[in-house]
Amino acid sequence: MLFVKDFPVAGDQDIAMLASGAEAAQRFVSLILAEIASAATAEQMQGFFRAVGARLAKSHPIVNAKDMDRLTQHGNMVWDRLHWGSVRFELDDEGIDIFHDGLPERLEGDADGIWAGVAPFILEGAYDAWFRQMGSGERLSTRISRSQGGHVELRHGI
C-alpha cells in the first residue's frame, strides 16, 4: 500500500510547471493541439476544428431563434462564458457578414502558436451550425474571410 510519504517530493522547478484554473486548462488544450498538429494535415485540422465548432453550437442550441438579434444575443452569451470575445452581424441582399472580435490570440503553453491558426475554424463551424439551426439552406455556407489578431471576419452566403 502506498502512502503519501512514498511519493517523490516535487522540486521548485516541478512545482513551477504545475498550473491551476484557466492556465492549467489552456496548457492542457495546448498539448492536445500540438498532438493533433503533429499527426494531421492542414486540411484535416481545418475539418476537425470546424466539427468542434459545430459540436459547440449543437451543445448550445438556439431555441426558437428566427432573427439576427436573438443570434447575436445567444452567440455573445456563449462567447462571454468562454472568454472568446463578441460578435456582430451585418446583413445584405446576398448574405451575412460576421464580425467576431476578442478571440484569444494565444493559449498558455502553445509555444508553436497553433491556436491562432485553428481557433477561427471553430468559429466557422459554430456559426455555420447556428445558421443551420435557424433554417439556412444547404446551398449556403459560412467561410472565413479574414483573420488577424483576435479579429475574425466570416461570411454566410453562397
Q: Domains plus CATH for the chain?
A: 20-157 (3.30.1380.20)
- Lookup result for grid cell 494531421: 40
Residue 97: Cβ-neighbour burial (10 angstroms; 0-12, 13-18, 19+)? middle
What are 19-41's pLDDT values in tens digits? 567 788 889 999 999 999 999 99
Q: Poorest-confidence range of 6-10, 50-54, 119-123?
A: 6-10
Cα 122 to Cα 135: distance, rounded to the nearest angstrom: 20
Write down the pLDDT at residue 3. Answer: 45
Q: For the whole model, what pTM was predicted? A: 0.85
- Please write the tens of the pLDDT for every residue from 62-118: 987 778 999 999 999 999 999 999 999 999 999 999 999 999 999 989 999 999 999
- C-alpha distances in Å from residue 33, one per residue of 2, 13, 50, 59, 109: 34, 24, 14, 21, 10
What percentage of the chain reaches a pLDDT higher than 90?
77
SS3 state of residue 28 = helix
